[in-house]
A and B are shown apart, each in its own frame.
Chain A
Amino acid sequence: MRRFFAPLLALGLAVAGNARAEDTLSPLHFQSDGPLGSIDKAAAQRGFLVYQTVCAACHSANALHYRDLEALGLTPDQMAGVAAGVKLADGSAATLDSPFKDPAMPASAFGGALPPDLSSIAAQRPGGAQYIYALLTGYATAPDGVTMLPGHFYNKAFPGEQVAMPPVLRDNAVTYADGTAATQSQEAADVAEFLTWAADPNLSTRHQIGLRAVIFFAFLGIVAVISKRRIWREGR
């Protein structure tokens, strides 16, 4: 079926082809937002780079495979290169068919707060991409009067405002191939878009087919009403 929808997706690729990211940070918005939103493939590719360089050190995403990156516009060679660069727990290199690497570290390595699997984090957390962005950019020094738990960091976006995850994103944590400036907020926004795709890889297709289905059934409804009225009027 992916083949079936390939022409639809090609349309998206052509739009995503522009090299440099437009400013989505002020005000913050995501191309995947809204009922007709679609995944911004360029942003999601950059987000994957952030995920792979930063997040994957502690988090797993076991619903994703390296071959799935084809949907973000990576060529088979690029995907194979990504997979070949990943060393699995048994020492062998990952293949296209491997799930994203699980760091497989015990909870004790994180003071008991095991980093969650990121496959569908955008679907689980209220706010989705907006929340992920707010969390990743929400670190601050704790205000007076807040007693911090040991090993926790003040984050105004996290429920309870104390999170065990350290602030990991900083300016130029990665270097983007498309020339986009890798500011901390750009990285956060890109990884949020990537995780939105991870949680709902069919978002763009779903919205495209949905729009067509609604238009078609509205047309069918109108034709059926006219047809029914005629049949009933002439029957009397």
Chain B
Amino acid sequence: MTTETKQIPCLGALCACLCAPVHKPEGKYLDTLPGLTAILLAFLTLSGLVLAVYYDPWHAFASVGFIGHEVNNGWLVQAYHATGATALFGLVYLYLFRAMLTRGYRAPGELVWGLGVKLMAVLLLVGWLGFVLTGGAAAYWSLFKASNGALALSGAAGAIGGWFFGGPAGSGTLARLELFHAVLAVGAMAVLWLLFAARRAVVPRAEPGQGVAFFPYYLAQYLVALAVFALIFSVLAFFTPHLGQPAVNALPADPLTLPLGTVLPWYLLPLAGIAQALPGIWGGILGVVGALAVLAALPWLDRSGPAGAKGGLYCVFTWVLAADVIGLGITAAARNYPQASLLLVLFTFWYFFHFLVLTPFVTAIEAK
């Protein structure tokens, strides 16, 4: 440690932290997922700040077009932000799925798992708000349904909905949703920070004399992960900048003409599928809340205990669940097909059946 770093306490502490040989030497590349998520969140914040300079919620569609056509590199900043959202959900879904496969949610990782699910829930809301802010036809359709549904509720739920949307969907609605989008994004960063803190508390440390330091070992690993991530990100951002978004969102919102093909962006589709499968507004709300709740309750639904065996059968069922969630998303996007509503009910049923019935039984049987 040089004299300068000793004199600046924070820098010295940072250096000591980075150079402390406490990490286990068998780090996996996928362990960098939360770190990549944090970097991506920071990147999304930066690009979002630039977009906010030019974005006008009262003329949302026109200002989005203005950014794409008139602002220096505006199209690229938009591609950063849209592809960033896609990549963010890719990372979070992958992180949660990996924790399910490795069963990292079991004690002592319950808190980390719960925070991961909360992070996903907040990001889903942020992602939906960001989609709605584009002011396109599909975005307006989604906002229209959500705000009308919320305002139709009675009692406290209706009051909350009224407070959130501030009345029926109009141009002023987007002004407040822009604020919620930004505030909740900061909230997501706070949740991610808690996740890091909780993770640090439970990650096993290396035996004295056996560990390696972050610098240079894990820094080198992070660079590899970042380079691969940047490669995939470039392919998406430059060659499919509208991946997973409905093409009709390139149309301006018009309350009098709702075109065909108004679907949500890909990352919202599985949850939207569950919401559509259940009847009524309350069915939709309970479906979304329930789907997230059973996911968060996974550490307690798993009956195998902290030291239980990793059963092969349950692993197969976890893969089946992944297929089920993908099926939900595809069916929700194709909801105009005649069989779609039946399939949605089946997929939704399987989702809850997996968590509430299969998980306790199969894990309990396999733990014996």
* Contact, chains A and B (beta carbon distance below 8 A): yes
Q: Give chain A's interface residues, CB within 8 Å of chain B.
A: 1-2, 35, 63-64, 68, 116-117, 119-120, 123-126, 199, 201-202, 206-207, 209-211, 213-214, 217-218, 220-221, 224-225, 227-228, 231-232, 235-236
A105–B224 Cα gap in the complex (Å)? Answer: 58
Q: Does any Cβ of A come within 8 Å of B217's Cβ? A: yes
Which of the candidate stretches B67-75, B141-149, B150-158 sits at the interface with the other chain? B67-75
- Assuming the contacts A63-B65, A119-B65, A202-B75, asked whether A224 and B241 have C-beta atoms less than 8 A apart, the reply is no
Closest approach, in angstroms, between the C-beta of A204 and any C-beta of chain B?
A: 12
- Assuming the contacts A228-B220, A228-B223, asked whether A218 and B250 have C-beta atoms less than 8 A apart, the reply is no
- Assuming the contacts A207-B239, A213-B238, asked whether A2 and B217 have C-beta atoms less than 8 A apart, the reply is no
Task: Please determine whether A224 and B223 come into contact, CB atoms closer than 8 angstroms.
Answer: yes
Task: Please determine whether B237 and A1 come into contact, CB atoms closer than 8 angstroms.
Answer: no
Task: Please determine whether B241 and A206 come into contact, CB atoms closer than 8 angstroms.
Answer: yes
Task: Please determine whether B234 and A213 come into contact, CB atoms closer than 8 angstroms.
Answer: yes
Using CB atoms, name the residue of chain B closest to A122. B250
Return chain B residues, CB-CB under 8 Å to A209. Answer: 76, 238
Partner of A217, one of B69, B72, B212, B227: B227
Using CB atoms, name the residue of chain B closest to A64. B69
Some 27 contacts from A to B, beta carbons below 8 A apart, are A1-B72, A2-B72, A35-B239, A63-B65, A64-B69, A120-B65, A124-B248, A125-B247, A206-B76, A206-B79, A206-B238, A207-B239, A210-B234, A213-B230, A213-B238, A214-B231, A217-B230, A217-B231, A217-B234, A224-B224, A225-B224, A227-B223, A228-B223, A228-B224, A232-B220, A235-B217, A236-B25
A4–B68 Cα gap in the complex (Å)? Answer: 17
Q: Which residues B320-346 have CB closer than 8 A to chain A?
A: none
Return chain A residues, CB-CB under 8 Å to B237. Answer: 210
Task: Please determine whether B247 and A124 come into contact, CB atoms closer than 8 angstroms.
Answer: yes
Q: Does any Cβ of A come within 8 Å of B216's Cβ? A: yes
Q: Which residues B12-69 have CB closer than 8 A to chain A?
A: 25, 65, 68-69
Q: Which residues B211-255 have CB closer than 8 A to chain A?
A: 212, 216-217, 220-221, 223-224, 226-228, 230-231, 234-235, 237-239, 241-242, 247-248, 250-252
A123–B64 Cα gap in the complex (Å)? Answer: 15
Task: Please determine whether A126 and B241 come into contact, CB atoms closer than 8 angstroms.
Answer: no
Looking at chain A's contact residues, the main secondary structure is helix
Number of contacts between A and B (CB, 8 Å)? 82
A225–B230 Cα gap in the complex (Å)? Answer: 14
A144–B304 Cα gap in the complex (Å)? Answer: 70
Task: Please determine whether A221 and B72 come into contact, CB atoms closer than 8 angstroms.
Answer: no
Partner of B217, one of A63, A214, A232: A232
A123–B245 Cα gap in the complex (Å)? Answer: 12
Q: Give chain B's interface residues, CB within 8 Å of chain A.
A: 25, 65, 68-69, 72-73, 75-76, 79, 212, 216-217, 220-221, 223-224, 226-228, 230-231, 234-235, 237-239, 241-242, 247-248, 250-252
Apart from A221-B231, A228-B224, what are 10 other A-B pairs with CB-CB below 8 Å?
A124-B247, A124-B248, A126-B247, A210-B235, A210-B237, A213-B230, A221-B224, A224-B226, A225-B224, A236-B25
Return chain A residues, CB-CB under 8 Å to B76. Answer: 202, 206, 209
Task: Please determine whether A220 and B69 come into contact, CB atoms closer than 8 angstroms.
Answer: no
Closest approach, in angstroms, between the C-beta of A23 and any C-beta of chain B?
A: 27
Task: Please determine whether A1 and B239 come into contact, CB atoms closer than 8 angstroms.
Answer: no
Task: Please determine whether B216 and A231 come into contact, CB atoms closer than 8 angstroms.
Answer: yes
Closest approach, in angstroms, between the C-beta of A209 and any C-beta of chain B?
A: 6
A227–B226 Cα gap in the complex (Å)? Answer: 14
Task: Please determine whether A124 and B238 come into contact, CB atoms closer than 8 angstroms.
Answer: no
Using CB atoms, name the residue of chain B closest to A36. B239
A213–B236 Cα gap in the complex (Å)? Answer: 11
Partner of B250, one of A35, A199, A214, A220: A199
Task: Please determine whether A206 and B75 come into contact, CB atoms closer than 8 angstroms.
Answer: yes
Task: Please determine whether B212 and A235 come into contact, CB atoms closer than 8 angstroms.
Answer: yes
Return chain A residues, CB-CB under 8 Å to B234. Answer: 210, 213-214, 217
Using CB atoms, name the residue of chain A closest to B29. A228
Return chain B residues, CB-CB under 8 Å to A117. Answer: 252
Using CB atoms, name the residue of chain B closest to A120. B250
Return chain A residues, CB-CB under 8 Å to B221. Answer: 228
Using CB atoms, name the residue of chain A closest to B220. A228
Partner of B247, one of A64, A123, A211, A228: A123
- Assuming the contacts A231-B220, A232-B220, A235-B217, asked whether A63 and B250 have C-beta atoms less than 8 A apart, the reply is no
Return chain B residues, CB-CB under 8 Å to A116. Answer: 251
Return chain A residues, CB-CB under 8 Å to B223. Answer: 224, 227-228
Closest approach, in angstroms, between the C-beta of B259 and any C-beta of chain A?
A: 8
A236–B211 Cα gap in the complex (Å)? Answer: 10
Closest approach, in angstroms, between the C-beta of B36 and any C-beta of chain A?
A: 14
Return chain A residues, CB-CB under 8 Å to B241. Answer: 206
Task: Please determine whether A224 and B227 come into contact, CB atoms closer than 8 angstroms.
Answer: yes
Closest approach, in angstroms, between the C-beta of A141 and any C-beta of chain B?
A: 27
Task: Please determine whether B250 and A201 come into contact, CB atoms closer than 8 angstroms.
Answer: no
A232–B218 Cα gap in the complex (Å)? Answer: 9
Using CB atoms, name the residue of chain A closest to B66. A63
Task: Please determine whether A207 and B238 come into contact, CB atoms closer than 8 angstroms.
Answer: yes
A1–B70 Cα gap in the complex (Å)? Answer: 11
- Assuming the contacts A210-B238, A210-B239, asked whether A221 and B250 have C-beta atoms less than 8 A apart, the reply is no
A199–B228 Cα gap in the complex (Å)? Answer: 31
Return chain A residues, CB-CB under 8 Å to B65. Answer: 63, 119-120
Return chain B residues, CB-CB under 8 Å to A211. Answer: 238
Using CB atoms, name the residue of chain B closest to A218. B231
